[in-house]
Amino acid sequence: MAKAKTKTVTLKVSENTMKKMEEYFEDKKRPKTPPYAVFQADEMDTVVTLYQSGKAVFQGICADMDANIWLETEKKLNGGKGEMKVAGEKKKEPAEKSFVYYTNTIGSDEVGTGDYFGPIVVTSTFVSKENIPFLEDLGVKDSKKLTDAQILKIVPEIIKKIPYSTRILTNRDYNGKYSADINMNAMKAILHNKVLLDLNEKYGKQADYIVVDQFTSPSSYYKYLIKAPEVQRNITFITKAEDKCLSVACASLISRYAFIKEFDKMSKNVGFYLPKGAGELADEAAMKIVRQSDFSALNDLVKLNFKNTEKIKKL
């Protein structure tokens, strides 16, 4: 797997937010402070530096997520104003709404495929045109900008109103199924097919489109399902569908919600926080587990086909 990239995010904060940050990071501050800085602190794998000017700099793999939390604090304390800048990224224009956006759709999406720890979660949802304003008010149309904390807050509201089906593939099952004949994309296709069939059975007659966030070509997708007893057809495959179709955006958020919950359970079971992604922090956590128990303990916790496993074997 590709090594996660370190990000640098800059956020301009007001005095009231600076005070909140000082209080929060009091026990996380580093002993040495850079020139003109109020403090420098560690937030998991992110280094946070707050300057006297009110500039807050976040550096690390999850810098954008950590900065987002303080951006929301800044907005709440100062009438909704605030902006953050990610180094090397151009400001994105709002995604153009696709032809499926204002229609009744069944959509599916998955999470967890790039994480060494944690399961793969696939969800499908049915979103009718009548529920589009409700979802937009919750912020679902900007789902990629939502932090885990925000997802934990809004998804319970979504699932009260939006029909959905979720399947979770544990690491034990993933490792048991993975082979030369069944790779990750094949398992994803099988899971997408199951949740789409679930929703289509109940809402297929109301849906104008069935949309999948495209992760492989349509021909490969259906090839993976050649042995499936029943296959959902008439799928519209759209790249980055999460930005263009609210049922896919909802599916993404519900999947992420379930992933976070499962991840927290795993962390409690091993007795320490497990990092997301597949970077060096994941390697370190896996090594800690091996030292505490043995290598076989990883079978229930990680995706063994990731390159991380070979590193751990060498160590």
Residues 186-225: tens digit of each pLDDT: 999 999 999 999 999 999 999 999 999 999 999 999 999 9
Average pLDDT, integer, range 9-34: 90
Percent of the chain with pLDDT over 90: 65
- Per-residue pLDDT, averaged over 102-117, amounts to 95
Given pLDDT bands bounded at 50, 70 and 90, which one contains residue 88? low
CB distance 210 to 246 below 8 Å: no
> Of all residues in the chain, what percent are helix, strand and coil, respectively (each to 5)?
45, 20, 35
Task: Using pLDDT thresholds of 50, 70 and 90, give the confidence band for residue 1.
Answer: very low
- For the cut 70, the answer to whether the pLDDT of residue 90 exceeds it is no
Q: Is the pLDDT reported for residue 110 higher than 90?
A: yes
CATH fold of 7-86: TATA-Binding Protein (3.30.310)
- Give 293's pLDDT tier (boundaries 50, 70, 90): confident
C-alpha to C-alpha distance for 143 and 107, rounded to whole angstroms:
14
CA dist., res. 238 & res. 247, Å (int)? 12
CATH class of 105-263: alpha beta
Average pLDDT estimate for 270-295? 91
Lowest mean pLDDT among 155-159, 223-227, 311-315: 311-315
pLDDT of 160: 96
Mark 273-297 as b/e (b = at least 16 C-beta within 10 Å).
Answer: ebbbbbbebbbebbeebbeeeeeee
Across the chain, mean pLDDT equals 89
Q: Tell me what the mean pLDDT of segment 267-275 comes to.
A: 92
Q: What is the pLDDT of residue 72?
A: 85
246 membership: H or E segment, kind and range: helix 246-270
